[in-house]
């Protein structure tokens, strides 16, 4: 049976280089439960997106995984794991499914309170994945479906990523005495916005790819206001009509990031590892968002939006030098944020959440 560090070394770095950076810098007591939460979520994501299974079987796999979170059964997922043994997007994803029993063994070995936190998190995230498989058409159906309204986008980004901010906050408050004076409800709310901002960045970056598999996370009612239907977005020529909504969503993402930055600065300066683990995804996210804003055509599947590895290394190195100073670190953050929409602030009303969405886990 492998240990947590073995799994993280063998698999986690391969399935997410950016998250692995944050995990590696975390205080040691938090690495295993948070790393394990990521591996289990990534396993669920692999089941959701695999082309080796029809949607009905993927839904069965997600429900089996959810059942294992409540009451583990060593053989419950065997059929799904075997069916997913074909080619995946990454070899590490196939390896992750093969070693899923080891992940569940580690899950069972967690302290009861931590296991409960992981269970709540993963049951919430998998609700978002079930939404992907039930709201949107199959990849081979040749049509596109969109989320109906902005509230549905808020709900989706909560289910997939905002809930991670709540989990992250609860885990750190439980394990770090330095956070004893934190305002738990406020920090969890900021954590939700933090996660939603990161997920919106992914949605904007992957817009063309998602459209090719029938998924449009942009609200239908806002597309209609621009004279667009979801299927129109498969034509790169629609980009000019779509651009006002893209700018609006970039501004919303920046508003979420501001809450994420307030979250980061609330971490005591004598906890530099925690600060960096939060600062890094925000700084990398800003670099990615700037490339989204400057992309010639987000609807063109040939256009790749990605922050380069040297740029990531510069962000990490600079933040390491500045982490002990709120003023210097914030100056750096605001310089990167200003580069995302250099033309100035969006029009009134843009970039603000339409709801105070806080669904039950």
Q: CATH code at 192?
A: 1.10.600.10
Residues 204 and 259 in one domain: yes
Are residues 360 and 223 part of one domain?
Answer: yes
In a domain, 125, yes or no: no
Total domain count, the chain: 2
On whether both 307 and 193 belong to a single domain, the answer is yes
Same domain for 279 and 220: yes
Domain assignment present for residue 118? The answer is no
Q: Residue 285's closest CA among 312, 310, 247, 304?
A: 312
- For residue 199, give its domain range: 136-361
Structure-token pair, residue 188: 């969890």
- What pLDDT, on a 0 to 100 scale, did the predictor assign at position 140? 80
Q: Does 169 reside within a domain?
A: yes
pLDDT, one tens digit for every residue, the chain (361 residues): 445 556 666 677 766 667 778 888 998 889 999 999 999 999 999 899 887 788 998 999 999 999 999 988 877 777 777 777 665 556 777 788 888 888 899 999 999 999 999 999 999 999 999 999 999 998 788 899 999 999 999 999 999 999 999 999 999 999 999 999 999 999 999 999 999 999 999 999 999 999 999 999 999 999 999 999 999 999 999 999 999 999 999 999 999 999 999 999 999 999 999 999 999 999 999 999 999 999 999 999 999 998 999 999 999 999 999 999 999 999 999 999 999 998 654 543 444 454 444 434 3
Cα→Cα distances 21→25, 241, 281, 308, 351, Å:
6, 38, 9, 15, 29
What is the reported pLDDT for 138?
80
What pLDDT does 193 receive?
A: 98
**What is residue 80's predicted lDDT score, i.e. its pLDDT?**
75
Same domain, 3 and 55: yes
153 and 98, same structural domain? no
pLDDT, residue 73, reads 80
9 with 91, same domain: the answer is: yes
Number of residues that make up the chain: 361
Reduced to 3 DSSP states, what percent helix, strand and coil does the chain have, rounded to the nearest 5?
A: 70, 0, 30
Of 63, 78, 111, which residue is a domain's last? 111
Q: What is the pTM of this model?
A: 0.91
Q: Is residue 311 part of a domain?
A: yes
Is 141 inside any structural domain?
yes
At 361 the pLDDT is 37
In a domain, 48, yes or no: yes
Same domain, 53 and 195: no
Identify whether residues 278 and 337 lie together within a single domain: yes
Is 50 part of a structural domain of the chain?
yes
User: Do 306 and 168 have their domain in common?
Assistant: yes
Specify the DSSP class assigned to residue 10: I
Q: Are residues 41 and 155 in the same domain?
A: no
Q: Token pair for residue 126?
A: 């998998």
Do 190 and 328 belong together in one domain? Answer: yes
Residue 72 has what pLDDT?
Answer: 81
Task: Answer yes or no: is 123 within a domain.
Answer: no
């Amino acid at each position: 049976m492998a240990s947590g560090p073995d799994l993280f070394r063998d698999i986690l770095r391969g399935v997410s280089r950016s998250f692995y950076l944050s995990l590696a810098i975390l205080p040691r007591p938090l690495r295993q439960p948070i790393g394990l939460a990521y591996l289990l979520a990534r396993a669920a994501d692999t089941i959701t997106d695999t082309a080796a299974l029809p949607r009905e079987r993927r839904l069965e796999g997600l429900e089996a995984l959810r059942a294992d979170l409540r009451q583990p059964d060593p053989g419950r997922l065997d059929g799904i794991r075997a069916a997913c043994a074909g080619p995946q997007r990454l070899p590490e994803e196939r390896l992750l499914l093969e070693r899923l029993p080891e992940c569940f063994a580690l899950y069972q070995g967690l302290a009861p309170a931590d296991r409960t936190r992981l269970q709540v998190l993963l049951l919430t995230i998998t609700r978002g994945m079930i939404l992907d498989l039930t709201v949107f058409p199959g990849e081979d159906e040749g049509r596109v479906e969109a989320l109906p309204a902005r509230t549905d986008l808020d709900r989706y980004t909560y289910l997939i990523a905002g809930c991670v901010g709540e989990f992250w906050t609860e885990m750190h408050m439980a394990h770090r005495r330095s956070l004893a004076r934190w305002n738990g409800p406020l920090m969890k709310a900021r954590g939700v916005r933090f996660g939603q901002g990161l997920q919106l960045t992914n949605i904007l970056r992957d817009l063309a790819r998602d459209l090719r598999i029938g998924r449009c996370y942009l609200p239908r009612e806002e597309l209609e206001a621009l004279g667009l239907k979801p299927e129109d977005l498969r034509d790169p020529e629609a980009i000019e009509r779509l651009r006002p909504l893209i700018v609006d969503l970039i501004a919303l993402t920046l508003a979420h990031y501001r809450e994420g930055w307030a979250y980061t600065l609330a971490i005591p300066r004598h906890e530099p590892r925690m600060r960096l683990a939060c600062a890094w995804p925000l700084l990398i996210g800003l670099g990615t968002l700037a490339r989204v804003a400057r992309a010639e055509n987000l609807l063109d599947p040939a256009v790749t939006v990605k922050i380069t590895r040297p740029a990531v290394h510069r962000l990490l190195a600079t933040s390491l030098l500045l982490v002990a100073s709120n003023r210097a670190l914030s100056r750096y953050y605001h310089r990167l944020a200003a580069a995302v929409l250099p033309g100035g602030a969006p029009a009134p009303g843009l970039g603000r959440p339409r709801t105070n969405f806080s669904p039950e886990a």
